[in-house]
Amino acid sequence: MTPDGPDPDTARRPASARDRLIATAARLFQEQGYVATGLNEILAGAGAPKGSLYHYFPDGKAGLAAAAIDAAASGLEASLKQAHSTAGGAAGMVEAYGEMLAGWMEASHFRRGCPVATVALEVTPGDDAAAQAVREAFARWRTALSEAISADGVASKRADALAGFTLAAIEGALILARADASAEPVRAAAREAAALIRAAKPQG
Amino acid sequence: MTPDGPDPDTARRPASARDRLIATAARLFQEQGYVATGLNEILAGAGAPKGSLYHYFPDGKAGLAAAAIDAAASGLEASLKQAHSTAGGAAGMVEAYGEMLAGWMEASHFRRGCPVATVALEVTPGDDAAAQAVREAFARWRTALSEAISADGVASKRADALAGFTLAAIEGALILARADASAEPVRAAAREAAALIRAAKPQG
Amino acid sequence: MTPDGPDPDTARRPASARDRLIATAARLFQEQGYVATGLNEILAGAGAPKGSLYHYFPDGKAGLAAAAIDAAASGLEASLKQAHSTAGGAAGMVEAYGEMLAGWMEASHFRRGCPVATVALEVTPGDDAAAQAVREAFARWRTALSEAISADGVASKRADALAGFTLAAIEGALILARADASAEPVRAAAREAAALIRAAKPQG
Amino acid sequence: MTPDGPDPDTARRPASARDRLIATAARLFQEQGYVATGLNEILAGAGAPKGSLYHYFPDGKAGLAAAAIDAAASGLEASLKQAHSTAGGAAGMVEAYGEMLAGWMEASHFRRGCPVATVALEVTPGDDAAAQAVREAFARWRTALSEAISADGVASKRADALAGFTLAAIEGALILARADASAEPVRAAAREAAALIRAAKPQG
DNA sequence: ACGTGCGGGACTACCCGTTCCT
DNA sequence: AGGAACGGGTAGTCCCGCACGT
């Protein structure tokens, strides 16, 4: 939802051209959306020549977007799992995660939201690699959330419903946060979702 | 979130050129996003010449988008209030509303989401009329939800928090629904939010 | 070449809408050229409604340009004749005139050149009212110069040649002055032309 | 002032796309002016694809104009120097040059004037690459004229003044020639300027 | 006579994502 | 991997009617 990794503009050289392209694309998609981000802009930001793009991503912009989304999904999934082990439970994980996202939004002055949501809204569903990557990203997050909630003892069906709801609430909150230039919706959404998860946990 | 009104392509003539432009823009923004929707496409869909657009919307695309968002916000706000009076309570209202949105998504084969969310993600916050319209649309919906929940006897502070959370969950669910080509996330989000509202209502 | 009259922006109201349109058009043509000056810009500068333009100038932009050129030609011709009577001879007149033009260019920070020259270069010769007005403006100036030189006792054929040469030199100097942001070419051209006229005058 | 080279429409293929763009732009600027000449028109005239323009001239129209002006300035400077060596003196050079320009104007039916003068009048001084190219073109011509006059034995200060005056007279004459559809002003201006140069030459 | 709202397209400079050839 | 070339697209603005109220 708000992955960063090392800023590709500051620490540019170490990573490969391919990785720099992915990181730059993800960042620009967050800030401006998928369609509004030009290939030239990505190329310039990554310091890569034009031919490289079609060498690494023969499917062009959609292929690069798919890779960027995959990378973002992996990063966020890892953050989620780390938050789980740190917090020791699904509810705490969601709270920690919301706090992290809220901090990221504030750090970017509410310019960087979820790189997946933008692509999701700007691409006609089902048509290309990017749309598929969007589906997979959401599915991975939902699964990760669901497993964490299940691990708390919640029945798997209920856990999955709560996971979907939590994901929706956070994604929606990121949009509201961007529009209002305030991280409050994200923190509030995480808090409410966490409360719901706690309430679903079998007592004792 | 998913407003329709009469399809501007089938019943074109009755409405004024201005209204046709707004309706067509809202529809195309829902389907393709803000940036991906070209002015020429809107013009063609509305059957209007280019001169009309800049006559009615001197600020160009941003002005048209602001008007489209305002119209969508008004439409949805009205639907919300109607659902409130029909359902007789905030929780029922949210459920009815979610059902309505879910139906709209299915009817459009999951192509039309919320016209406000796309603009929200594709426009740099604060830069133009469209961004402001986005803020206002979200604020109006949140207020309408909040007032309905308050009317159920929930303390206004808690009602406002629930309104924001409900709004976030529904917006997020619309994104997931679009990505997965399934209305289930929308129905589930409305159900969960309604349950939360019911739980917040003072007993007796 | 660099006519002004009262600035149409400062003393706007007294003149009629027609006169304000002419004055504004002349000024903008000087600064930006004929094609680059939009009708809307002229209308806005003159504070006139759109319908007025086609009421007063049924031929549209070309008709307005013709009127603006006529007005400028008249103004400059009058300045020339006044300079003649003040200076008491053709050479002195040219010098005084050059000094006036140089002062105007400096006052406008070298943005306002000859409103006729721009139209002359931007309009296909012979096609419309504006082109004709350009011819007439140059003819009037040449005649005025020629008569003044004749009055000094120079044979009319030689006077006419000197008039044409003087006109060319001043018009060219205005272009160089604009390009170099310096009034020196205008002063130099007037000086050289005046010397030539003095040399042509029969001694005694 | 009236450069030609091979007509880009008749002998199109040999030159590179970049050169064809420059030649076509210069020709169209001469005929219609800078602003009135559209990029599409240049592209069509040069037989170049649209993308090429911004490939060769990243600064767009202004960059192309600057290149066209540079090329025209070089061509004219070369013509001037050739006329100098042929005529054997500055005065003869100016006469030969004027005759050449007059012939060019007649050949083009008085449609093609100086490509530099149009840009000079239509561009706000100092704002972009084109304005700078205009300044340089005038400076190069003035220098070439000045050096030729100096070579005749005229003191350098006087030579420079005469060069500027000659340049102004010829530029102005090209405007008058275009407006009146007559090459006479050009021939007359060259004759008068040449006479002035001869008179400045030290006797013996 | 004079002004206005509304429309009507063509055109502008500019930039896009992509592909071909080296 | 690289960079030149490609052509269709962008938002925006142009100058100009036509029909309607003064």
Classify D57 in phi/psi space as left (phi over 0), alpha (psi -120 to 50) or beta: beta
Residues of chain C in contact with residue D110, where contact means CB-CB under 8 angstroms, are 125
Contact flag D181-C125 (C-beta cutoff 8 Å): yes
Alpha helices, DSSP H only, in chain D? 17-32, 39-46, 50-56, 61-87, 90-107, 115-122, 129-151, 156-180, 184-200
CA distance D1 to C191: 24
Positions on chain F within 7 A of a protein C-beta:
1-19
Per-residue pLDDT tens digits for D50-79: 989 999 999 999 999 999 999 999 999 999
Determine if strand E comes within 7 Å of the CB of D61. yes
According to DSSP, residue A204 is labeled -
CA distance A19 to chain B (A): 24
- The confidence band for C38, taking pLDDT boundaries of 50, 70 and 90, is very high
pLDDT at B172 over 50: yes
What is the Cα A130 distance to its own chain's centre? 14
State whether the beta carbon of A11 lies below 7 angstroms from any atom of strand E.
no
Residue C97 CA to nucleotide E17 C1', Å?
58
Query: Could you say which of B34, B122, B188 has the minimum Cβ distance to residue A165?
Result: B188
Alpha-carbon gap, residue B119 to B170, rounded angstroms: 17
Q: Which two tokens stand for residue C152?
A: 């000094």
A33, A134, A165 member nearest B122 (Cβ): A33
DSSP state of B3: -
The two structure tokens encoding residue B48: 């209007």
Query: Could you give the CA distance from residue A165 to residue A194 in angstroms, rounded to a whole number?
Result: 11
Residue D113 C-beta-side C-alpha neighbours within 13 Å: 32
Contacts of C113 in chain D (CB under 8 A): 121
Query: How many C×D Cβ pairs under 8 Å?
Result: 140
Residue D8 has pLDDT above 70, yes or no: no
Beta-carbon contacts of B55 under 8 Å, excluding residues fewer than 6 positions away, are none
Model pLDDT, residue B10: 41
Chain B CB contacts of A31 under 8 Å are: 124
Neighbour-count burial for A77-91, b at 16+ CB within 10 Å, e otherwise: bebbeebbeebebbb
Cα–Cα distance between D40 and D54 in angstroms, integer?
A: 12
Name the residue with the least CA to C1' distance from nucleotide E10: B50
Task: Provide the shortest C-alpha distance from residue B168 to chain A (in Å).
Answer: 4
Q: Chain D closest CA to C173's CA: distance in Å?
A: 5
Query: Which pLDDT band holds residue A8 (cuts at 50, 70, 90)?
Result: very low
Q: Are the beta carbons of B35 and A31 separated by less than 8 Å?
A: no
Q: A198 vs chain B: nearest CA distance in angstroms?
A: 13
- Distance, CA of B119 to CA of B137 (rounded, Å): 11
Closest residue (Cα, C1') to F14: C38
C1’ F17 / CA B54, Å: 17
What average pLDDT score do residues D18-43 get? 95
* Residue B6 vs residues B17, B20, B33, B83, C98: alpha-carbon distances, Å: 14, 10, 20, 20, 70
User: How close, in Å, is residue A20 to chain B by CA atoms?
Assistant: 23
CA distance A165 to B188: 7
Helix (H) / strand (E) element for C66: namely helix C61-87
Chains near B, with 3+ CB pairs < 8 A?
A: A
Cβ-based neighbours of B85, under 8 Å, separated by 6 or more: none
Please give the single-letter amino acid code of residue D185.
P
Nearest nucleotide (CA of A52 to C1'):
F1
CA gap C80, C96 in Å, rounded: 9
Q: Is the pLDDT of residue D98 over 60?
A: yes
Rounded mean pLDDT, C134-139:
97
Indicate yes or no: strand E within 7 A of the C-beta of D60.
yes
- Helices C156-180 and D115-122, axial angle in degrees (round to 10): 60
pLDDT 10s digits, A62-113: 999 999 999 999 999 999 999 999 998 999 999 999 999 999 999 999 999 9
Chain B residue with Cα closest to A30: B121
CA–CA dist D146, D152 (Å, integer): 10
The residues near C134 (Cβ < 8 Å, ≥ 6 apart) are C69, C116, C119, C120, C123, D179
Chain D residues lying within 8 Å of C172, measured CB to CB: 167-173, 175
Whether nucleic acid strand E comes within 7 Å of the CB of C60, the answer is: no
Q: If DSSP codes are grouped into helix, strand and coil, which group holds residue C49?
A: coil
pLDDT, mean of residues C143-151:
97
- pLDDT attached to residue A161: 97
Q: Which chain A residues contact residue B187 at CB under 8 A?
A: none
Kindly determine whether residue D185 and residue C164, on different chains, have CB atoms separated by under 8 Å.
Answer: yes
pLDDT at D151 over 80: yes
pLDDT at B15: 74
- DSSP-assigned letters across all residues of A152-173: TT--HHHHHHHHHHHHHHHHHH
pLDDT value, residue C127? 67
Would you tell me how many other CB atoms lie within 10 Å of the CB of residue D204?
4
Q: Read off the pLDDT band of A204 (50, 70, 90).
A: low
Q: Which residue has the higher pLDDT, B79 or D203?
A: B79
Give the number of C-alpha atoms closer than 13 A to the C-alpha of residue C128, restricted to the C-beta side. Answer: 16
Give per-residue pLDDT as tens, C80-131: 999 999 998 999 999 999 999 999 999 999 999 999 999 999 998 776 889 9
- H helices present in chain A, as ranges: 17-32, 39-46, 50-56, 61-87, 90-107, 115-122, 129-151, 156-180, 184-200
Neighbours of chain C (3+ CB pairs under 8 A): D
The CA distance from D141 to D181, in Å, is: 25
Gap between the Cα atoms of A133 and C10, Å rounded: 62
pLDDT tier at A201 (50, 70, 90 boundaries)? confident
Q: Which residues are CB-contacts of D27 (< 8 A; sequence separation ≥ 6)?
A: D4, D7, D8, D45, D112, D115
Å from B20 (CA) to F17 (C1')?
23
The pLDDT of residue D5 is 45
Q: Distance (Å) from CA B19 to C1' E7?
A: 15
Give me the helices (H) in D33-89, please: 39-46, 50-56, 61-87
What pLDDT shows up at residue A179? 96
